[in-house]
Structure 1
């Protein structure tokens, strides 16, 4: 145990290597189990043989149905869940440090609301002409566009921009929700079902083509975020202190917002709106590994992936053959945690 500057006692943090290795082991085991469960169950040993077949060769005794289910349906959606969970979690960690607000999440800069407008508009307006790329592309472009609009309207200065950006984000987000409500109102019955699942999050439409398209975005965003870890550490001291230490606050703020917007827009575009991942996961990881972003960001990425993969597995198994939207599970975890944060902040201030 260590003594804090305020005289309190801090918990002993887990070593980063232990946390990352344990997290990766849990994630790998969960991914294998998730492949085996669903409306069509595949024996766990067969799953292992199917996954290892590209390395050690195929097995003629394996069912072709099971092979098709594993490689064409389960593996793409689980890999997409890993990327989506990791992107949302590290985006939340970055924005909480940028805004110095424990209640910040990726939706705070308008990406989620903008992507919702783009996706819902594409579903309703394109109708039967919509391909598998129209909705994700509409969500991605609209998410980045709304983030850019918020940044321009807020016109952040050296030390006061984040508070103003928060207020502008709330206003623009409300306008986006009104547009989503309008598109929902004019949608037909078949479109409504798609809208409901998209707005609550789903990995059901994942395929290999989408993974190939979205993987570079996640990799570029992850590399950029990790390179910003020292900048985020400085920003947690406050923008005035960061400016005194020689940090270009305006440029650093822009880099963080662009990177998190890129990651969140890609996640929302291909999986819909999955709430609370970016809010809950960073707080849990700060408790385990501490506030330093060199440890916090990779730990949050792994934990976010675990949460989304687990939620996806539950969505496919609790009420087969239908799927429950992933957002219902993340909200069930996130809403009580959100209330806990609010009450803790109230006690701290009082």
Structure 2
């Protein structure tokens, strides 16, 4: 028995190392290709390196440092935050379809951001009001979906949760559409930005805020990975192991809302990252959140980097696509696939 356990442990460790190595290689490769993007032409790796080291020309440094680097850093932190949040929410709800986008958190945060854009708050600058309103609406959406989907006690059924999320997400999308319709022309573009998801407007100041919130949130979620493993088996089992289920669940929902709000408030709605990445990792590595959560950091960052590169690679045909469009083109078919075989999903 011990030999079988050791063999299984070594096998899981080997798969984890290989998966991590593949993700890191992909992340580095697509980061370099994205840094080299210069619109009408592609910079060489030598030009990119020289610009990063401060030895490039004025033009290459403007492209690499001022134009591409803030967007790439934003993609890395937002991708990591959304993937980890999706992973945690699936464990909290014991539901493979629970993600910030599917449950309407992103739409709720977009409503908060749209309200902050359209209705200025006296004495509070938009740079503060926007993320604060996004967080408050994101948290309200989380509590609303959870309350609606409960079916006696603390039980949350998959079908009810998804339907509640889709309904509330549709409601908030309609609110955003209404706010867009009544907005003055100079504010309409900013609100439309949230509905599509776009990394192009991020600057280094935004990156610092996103990074601070995302890193803090991920660290807090990592500390609860063992408790999440127990909660995935059932609340009664987790309580037998000494887990304060209600406290852990509420705390993680608040942290998740904060991470989602910090991401959406600056780049708009980016869907399906929290659905695709945790599922692929669970299929490969199993359900252990002590492994899946840290792997989701790299997986989410890599997924969004590939999406950003694809958005620019297609620019000669369609212009630079919003990143939300790219992730939806990948994530929506994946979501349909999961709905068709959710009962057979590995690790659940």
Q: Which runs of 5+ in 1 are unaligned?
A: 5-11
1:168-205 CA distance string (max 9 Å, x none): 65665444233212202213445443333321211111
Distance 2:261 2:155 in 1: 22
Structure 1 position 18, deviation (Å): 3.0
Pair 1:76-2:84 in alignment: no
Q: In the alignment, is the contact (CA less than 8 A) between 1:156 and 1:250 conserved in 2?
A: no
Aligned to 1:326, which of 308, 313, 323?
Answer: 323
CA contact (8 A) 1:31 1:309 kept: yes
Separation (CA, whole Å) in 2 of partners of 1:223 and 1:344: 32
1:106 aligns to what SS in structure 2?
coil
**Correspondence for 1:197:** 193
1:29 maps to what in 2?
A: 29
Q: What 5-or-longer segments of structure 2 have no aligned partner?
A: 5-10
Aligned counterpart, 1:9: none
Residue 344 (structure 1) aligns with? 341
Q: Provide the residue aligned with 2:8 in structure 1.
A: none
Query: Distance between the aligned counterparts of 2:195 and 2:267, measured in 1?
Result: 9
Q: Which residue of 1 aligns with 2:271?
A: 275
Local SS of the residue matching 2:315:
coil
Q: Residue 27 of structure 1: CA displacement?
A: 0.9
CA distance 1:322–1:168, shift in 2 (3 Å):
closer
* Mean Cα deviation higher: 15-24 or 25-34: 15-24
* 1:158-177 pair list within 5 angstroms: 160=154, 162=156, 166=161, 172-177=168-173
TM, length-normalised to structure 1: 0.83
Q: Find the counterpart in structure 1 of residue 135 from structure 2.
A: 140
Higher alpha-carbon deviation: 30-39 or 166-175: 166-175
Q: TM-score, normalised by structure 2?
A: 0.84
Q: Distance in 2 between matches of 1:248 and 1:155?
A: 21
Please give the root-mean-square deviation of Cα atoms over the aligned residues, in Å. 3.0
Change (3 A) 1:347 1:290: closer
Residue in 2 that maps onto 1:114? 108
Deviation at 1:118, TM superposition (A): 1.3
SS state of the match for residue 243, structure 2?
coil
SS of equivalent to 2:287: coil
Distance 1:105 1:313 in 2: 24
**Structure 1 Cα separation of the partners of residues 118 and 84 of structure 2:** 31
Equivalent pair of 1:159/1:240 in contact (CA under 8 Å): no
Q: What whole-Å deviation, never above 9, does each CA across 1:19-50 have from its counterpart, x for those lacking one?
A: 22332232122111110014153222210222
Match of 1:66 in 2: 60
